[in-house]
A = this chain, B = another copy of it.
Amino acid sequence: MAKIIPNLSVDCVIFGFDFNQLNVLLVERKLDDEKTGKSLIDDWTLTGYHIFEDENFDTAAARILKGLSGLDNIYLEQFYAFSRLDRVNSPNDKLWLDHQSEGFSERIFTVGYFSLIDNTTVSISHNDRNVKWFPITDLPELGFDHKEILEKALEKLRAKLRSEPIGFELLPEKFTVSQLQRLYEVILGTKFDRRNFRKKVLQMKYVIPLDEKQKGVKHKPAQLFIFSKEVYEKTKTERFDFSI
């Protein structure tokens, strides 16, 4: 079996959307004193691990995502490499890494990936640790430099959302304009005028209206739409704008 590379890891910032909030997946980092049972560490981290000698960064991140979701076609994008000298050196971080005793270096560099998951259909589980979705507006204490990594991921996600239609990865195949609006609002932290937003979406050739409405909702069922990556790619040059 391949060995790990002692000073290199990947960390995955897995974003999920549940029609209401933007969430991030965290794993619990829990360590109790073996004799007294007293809690030594109890906080949360992103999901990540060292890369193996026969992997590159992409395949390591895909391995982690597959381990959590069983899927290999999840949107995954490398966004930044982190290298702060003391990034894994807090007392809790050192205690945790020593306890793993897996031959990690004292200084670990990590490459961040963000992933976009439709919270309502993809289910996530971890072999031996608790995993949980947290709204990005209400996060627990994070270990290592994972607060910094998460903030950078959000910054990159926002920039990308403004220039490419990646938001659809967070929605089910069929969605309503209101769901799309809510998604953009929670990620960008802003509010849009309902009529203007709708008007703009209806102008996008790559957001295709279906002859189908929502089912099983209490309110008046809304029209459903799908996103066409094919139409998006075809009409890319038409939408070209040299600067905003």
User: Could you list which residues of chain A lie within 8 angstroms of chain B, going by C-beta atoms?
Assistant: 5, 7-8, 51, 53-54, 56-58, 78, 80-81, 83-85, 107, 109, 111, 159, 161-163, 165, 167, 184, 188, 190, 192, 197, 200, 204, 239-244
Give Cα A159–Cα B161 distance, bound, in whole angstroms. Answer: 12
14 A-B pairs (CB sep. < 8 Å): A7-B7, A7-B8, A53-B107, A56-B83, A56-B85, A57-B83, A58-B83, A162-B163, A162-B244, A184-B242, A184-B243, A188-B242, A197-B242, A200-B242
- Which one of A111, A165, A167, A197 has the highest number of Cβ atoms from chain B below 10 Å of its Cβ? A111
Least CB distance from A83 to B in Å reads: 4
- Name the B residues within 8 Å of A8 (CB-CB): 7, 109
Asked if B243 contacts A244 (CB within 8 A), the reply is no
- Name the B residues within 8 Å of A111 (CB-CB): 81, 83
- A161-B242, A161-B243, A162-B242 known; 11 new pairs, CB 8 Å cut-off, are A7-B7, A7-B8, A53-B107, A159-B163, A162-B243, A163-B244, A165-B243, A184-B243, A190-B240, A200-B243, A204-B243
User: B5, B7, B81, B184: which contacts A81 (Cβ < 8 A)?
Assistant: B81
Complex copy number for this chain: 2
Give Cα A240–Cα B185 distance, bound, in whole angstroms. Answer: 13
- Write the chain B residue with the least CB distance to A187: B242
